[in-house]
Chains A and B, each alone.
Chain A
Amino acid sequence: MEQHKRMRARITEEDLRLSESVEPKESLETWQRVISAAWDMTIVAVAYNDMRYPLKRVPETLETLESEIGAIRDETTLNVIEEEIKTGIRHFSEILEGARDSRERMDRILRAAWNRRVELKS
């Protein structure tokens, strides 16, 4: 709250004073690796914006299709359905595997970060 109050106060001359260059506490190489990973995750997250709504719709349309199977009269229609589902499995498996692989690594990084935090404190 105190800091918020200070932000609303007029900026003083002291606030505006620039520092000399500072040696970052962390190495630049580490920061660059953090940025690189963050940017790659962002690229995927931005691309997912396109997928978010269609992906939510797919289970519903698949459920409708599933309930339709019992009403099918012609075998060629079943051929078409099978091909479409096989294509879907190929695409969705690729998405799933890529996502699972990244997600597992994220868990490992969180565990490693926690361990490092404990080490730094001890």
Chain B
Amino acid sequence: MAEATIPTFMRGKDKIMSLSDAVKTFIKPGTCICPGGFSYTKKPFALAREVIRQDIGNLFVTMNGGASICEFWCAAGLVKLLDTTYIGLEGIQPVAYSVRRSIQDGTVDVEDYSNYGFGLRTVAGRYGWPFAPCMSELGTSFMLHDTFAKMGLRGKKADGSWIHPSIPPARAVVIEDPFDGWGLRPHAFEGGDGTSNQTNALEKVREATAYTGNKGVKVVLVPPILPEVTIILSQRVGEKGTTRIEGIWGPDNEQAISAKYCIVQAEKIVKEEELRAQPYSNTIAMQYIDAIVEQPYGGFPGQVPYYYDYDWDFWRAYTQVNRKDKAEVNKYIRNWVMEDEWTFLATRPGDGYPTISGTKGLERLFELRADAMFGYKPGLARPL
């Protein structure tokens, strides 16, 4: 691998690290960090717990795809800035309570985008585009609010450097579509082809003068995300970093490549040749991965497709815990993570919430095993 792709402080060093060392090396107070995964699925919870153990605060969190990790970090009082989209815990708690409370009480300053707009930001970051065009933010109050600008975090300092290297100089910019809506494919939907897109909406859009004062189609340009560190979870990773994700990718590929550094938490580290035998099935090339941590079951209480399902009973109970007094939730979460990951896995699954079997620790984890034919555990009880 070309040495130029390896950070200077990592040259000549093994990428395979302990959980503790990986967090210590790459994540500092104030780091702009981007957790991967989607909702409860394939979230790098072991790394997230280690951040809480090491009490790394003042974090700037940016991510697409749900707030389960951010919820724990907000509960532990470690987040200062949040640049994101959907902040829910799916149906079990549509708005993650600790995130919501931190925003409401001013502990966390938030900037938000639509799911699609934010997704395009990650795509722009992956491909090195200066921006990505979309229309999803139009017709809303999106352009009227800019938290980071109010905080003076956008733009450049007197010496020409960026005020914050992970905050773009503008939240978004509206321009007139230089292609006059051609890319919206009106020609593809004309003439009774049976699609529902047979309205005159595009003609109405062409008449609108909002945003620029001129008639015509408008487009929102959104900036890329450029996190300092992205953390992801993958089932299998080669010794040098080749990453194979099975099941839903979520935003992992985009967010990993957008970042300056990427730490991958693996269920299993394997020989590179195992993954290179079928290179087209690999998700992320080794040069984008800076550190590898092997931590089986590190995605608990979330789900890792084909390996184990999420622990619904935990989340059901946790969403009762996180509505308690803020200090109490903070104390709970710091107690919950315990002193290291293996002690955590031996103790916490099935602990502090009722389950049907009453099993705890690693035995409980094996109850959550997925059926490899489906990717999840059929018949997993999900009582509300």
Q: Which residues of A contact B (CB under 8 A)?
A: 3-4, 6-8, 11, 15-19, 21-22, 24, 26, 28, 31-32, 34-36, 38-40, 42-43, 45-46, 48-49
Contact = CB atoms under 8 A, between A and B. Distances in A.
B321 to A, nearest CB: 6
Given A22-B360, A39-B267, A15 B353 contact: yes
7 contacts: A11-B317, A11-B353, A16-B317, A22-B347, A22-B360, A31-B346, A42-B372
Contacts of B357: 3
Interface in B261-311: 267-268, 296-297, 306-307
Grouping DSSP codes into helix (H, G, I), strand (E, B) and loop, the A interface class, with mixed when no group exceeds half, is helix
A39 B354 contact: no
Interface stretch (B81-89, B149-157, B333-341): B333-341
A36 B236 CA distance: 12
B372 A31 contact: no
Contacts, number: 83
A14 to B, nearest CB: 10
Contacts of A11: 316-317, 320, 353-354
A21 B356 contact: no
A43 B356 contact: no
Given A6-B354, A7-B354, 16 more contacts: A3-B358, A4-B356, A4-B381, A11-B354, A15-B354, A16-B320, A18-B335, A18-B336, A18-B351, A19-B351, A31-B362, A32-B296, A45-B373, A46-B246, A48-B372, A49-B372
Interface string B344-378: 00111001111111101110001001001100000
Contact of B347 (A17, A21, A42, A43): A21
A38 to B, nearest CB: 7
Q: Which of A35, A42, A45 has the most CB of B within 10 A?
A: A42
Contacts of B383: 4, 7-8
Contact of B313 (A7, A40, A48): A7
Interface residues of B, number: 41
B211 interface: no
Contact of B352 (A17, A28, A31, A35): A17
B224 to A, nearest CB: 33
Contacts of B362: 24, 26, 31
Contact of A39 (B307, B317, B338, B342): B307
Nearest to B342: A28
A68 B352 CA distance: 66
Contacts of A18: 332, 335-336, 348, 351-352
Nearest to B373: A49
What are the 6 A-B residue pairs with the smallest beta carbon separation, nearest first? A45-B372, A18-B352, A24-B346, A35-B296, A7-B383, A3-B356
A18 B64 CA distance: 31
B48 to A, nearest CB: 18
Interface of B: 235-236, 246, 267-268, 296-297, 306-307, 313, 316-317, 320-321, 332, 335-336, 338-339, 342-343, 346-348, 351-358, 360-362, 366, 369, 372-373, 381, 383
B236 A7 contact: no
A4 B353 CA distance: 14
A34 B366 CA distance: 10
Given A16-B317, A46-B306, A39 B335 contact: no
B347 A16 contact: no
Nearest to B305: A46
Contact of A22 (B353, B355, B358, B361): B361
B297 A35 contact: yes
A21 B338 contact: yes
Contact of A42 (B306, B348, B358, B366): B306
B278 to A, nearest CB: 9
Q: Which of B268, B317, B336, B339 has the most CB of A within 10 A?
A: B268
A34 B296 CA distance: 11
B343 A21 contact: yes
A25 to B, nearest CB: 8
Nearest to A22: B347
Given A6-B354, A26-B362, A38-B369, A19 B347 contact: yes
